[in-house]
């Protein structure tokens, strides 16, 4: 039997940011990864303190951004790689009304540090009403982050590349196959619906597609462009454009209508030829109040869940992993806004 402090089930942002808390605090753990591309791995990696439809912000946005930047530095220290791309979002305005609204909102105390008052005009792209820059926004290098952390965890022997089978979990004796554990944390994203202990948490799947495209004409490289969706370079050849939102078409195949929507969205502001190289999709675990669902099982006191990261998975996953750690290890109550208890 191998003794660990924690078993983590799931290898998306929830699982990996919680693993970071464990690494920082010298706790032993293993993380189960069934090897499927998670919603996290197909995400755009956008780190954004502003809701770009209405030009508002959200709960703890500044603290979340600051905490993420510190955490990514800490992760860089042990994996040897930087995953933060300083490429601020430029939101293309639809009309003068949006420009006026942006300027008005930029006076607001909560938004003053995020909405830049000076508008920019971007070359090549169609942006007749210019763009507004979101200060402090950035991107995560998604592929780099997952490959860097997986390599690091694999070298330490902490990554188990297997599906976790609930039927093999012995809750009475806190064992799973050859492991004994103090605590077990479930971070399965939408697959939580198969988890007999937490299948009732109110997460709703929201399918998102992105396309990777080859552009015939180069665009500004060191920014992230947003109109309907986000556009940015992933390497010398390919650009990411996405993602869509869909609560209805939940089959496990590419949806042609989502691809069509993305093509049209890109054509609106990129009036040149482009070629779709590939399409990807994932299922976001969303919650009505757009906040995570974190907590302890009502009967089994060492079973925990970390889910509901469908909105702002990177910021929420990073920030609230610390609350969860403090709850388990220090008995510090979870904020009611993110606790599983709010649904009881």
Query: With respect to ligand FAD, which residue has the nearer C-beta, 40 or 127?
Result: 40
Stretch that binds ligand FAD, among 110-118, 218-226, 311-319, 333-341 (CB under 6 A): 311-319
Q: Under rule CB under 6 A, which residues in 269-308 are in contact with ligand FAD?
A: 282, 284-285, 307
Place of tokens 């757009």: 290
Confirm or reject binding of residue 68 to ligand FAD (CB under 6 A): no
Confirm or reject binding of residue 136 to ligand FAD (CB under 6 A): no
Confirm or reject binding of residue 11 to ligand FAD (CB under 6 A): yes
Please state, as a whole number, how many other Cβ atoms lie within 10 Å of the Cβ of residue 194.
10
Interface mask toward ligand FAD for 216-245; x: CB under 6 A: --------------------------xx--
Nearest approach in angstroms of CB 95 to ligand FAD is: 26
Interface mask toward ligand FAD for 141-180; x: CB under 6 A: ----------------------xx----------------
213 CB-near residues (< 8 Å, 6+ apart): 238, 239, 241, 266, 274, 275, 276, 277
Confirm or reject binding of residue 265 to ligand FAD (CB under 6 A): no
Confirm or reject binding of residue 255 to ligand FAD (CB under 6 A): no
Please state, as a whole number, how many other Cβ atoms lie within 10 Å of the Cβ of residue 60.
17
Q: Which of 49, 132, 148, 208 binds ligand FAD (CB under 6 A)?
A: 208
Q: Which of 132, 265, 295, 313 binds ligand FAD (CB under 6 A)?
A: 313
Q: Which of 7, 19, 23, 44 binds ligand FAD (CB under 6 A)?
A: 44
Of 8, 14, 68, the residue nearest 203 (C-alpha): 14
Please state, as a whole number, how many other Cβ atoms lie within 10 Å of the Cβ of residue 19.
26
Q: Which of 20, 310, 319, 320 binds ligand FAD (CB under 6 A)?
A: 310
* Total residues at interface with ligand FAD (CB under 6 A): 38
Nearest approach in angstroms of CB 208 to ligand FAD is: 3
Q: Which of 19, 225, 258, 314 binds ligand FAD (CB under 6 A)?
A: 314
Confirm or reject binding of residue 36 to ligand FAD (CB under 6 A): yes
Confirm or reject binding of residue 10 to ligand FAD (CB under 6 A): yes
Confirm or reject binding of residue 210 to ligand FAD (CB under 6 A): yes
**Binding region for ligand FAD (CB under 6 A):** 9-15, 32-34, 36, 38-40, 42-46, 163-164, 187-189, 191, 208, 210, 242-243, 282, 284-285, 307, 309-310, 312-314
């Amino acid at each position: 039997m191998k003794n660990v402090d924690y078993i983590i089930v799931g290898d998306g942002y929830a699982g990996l940011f919680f693993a970071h808390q464990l690494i920082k605090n010298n706790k032993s753990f293993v993380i189960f990864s069934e090897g499927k591309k998670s919603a996290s791995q197909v995400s755009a990696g956008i780190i954004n303190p502003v809701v770009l439809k209405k030009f508002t912000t959200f709960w703890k946005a500044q603290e979340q951004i600051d905490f993420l930047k510190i955490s990514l530095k800490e992760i860089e220290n042990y994996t040897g790689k930087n995953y933060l791309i300083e490429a601020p979002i430029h939101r293309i305005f639809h009309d003068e009304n949006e420009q006026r609204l942006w300027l008005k909102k930029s006076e607001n105390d909560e938004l003053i540090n995020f909405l830049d008052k000076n508008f920019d005009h971007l070359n090549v792209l169609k942006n007749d009403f210019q763009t507004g820059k979101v200060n402090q926004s950035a991107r995560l290098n998604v592929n780099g982050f997952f490959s860097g952390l997986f390599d690091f965890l694999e070298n330490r022997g902490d990554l188990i590349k297997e599906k976790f089978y609930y039927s093999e979990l012995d809750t009475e004796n806190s064992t799973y196959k050859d492991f004994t554990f103090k605590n077990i944390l479930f971070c399965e994203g939408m697959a939580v619906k198969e988890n007999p202990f937490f299948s009732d948490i109110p997460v709703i799947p929201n399918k998102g597609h992105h396309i990777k495209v080859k552009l015939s004409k180069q665009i500004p490289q060191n920014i992230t462009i947003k109109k309907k969706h986000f556009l940015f370079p992933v390497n010398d050849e390919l650009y990411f454009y996405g993602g869509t939102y869909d609560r209805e078409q939940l089959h496990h195949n590419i949806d042609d209508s989502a691809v069509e929507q993305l093509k049209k969205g890109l054509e609106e502001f990129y009036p040149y030829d482009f070629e779709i190289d590939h399409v990807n999709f994932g299922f976001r675990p969303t919650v009505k109040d757009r906040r995570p669902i974190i907590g302890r099982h009502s009967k089994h006191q060492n079973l925990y869940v970390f889910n509901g990261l469908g909105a702002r998975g990177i910021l929420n996953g990073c920030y609230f992993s610390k609350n969860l750690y403090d709850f388990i290890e220090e008995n510090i109550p979870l904020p009611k806004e993110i606790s599983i208890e709010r649904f009881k």
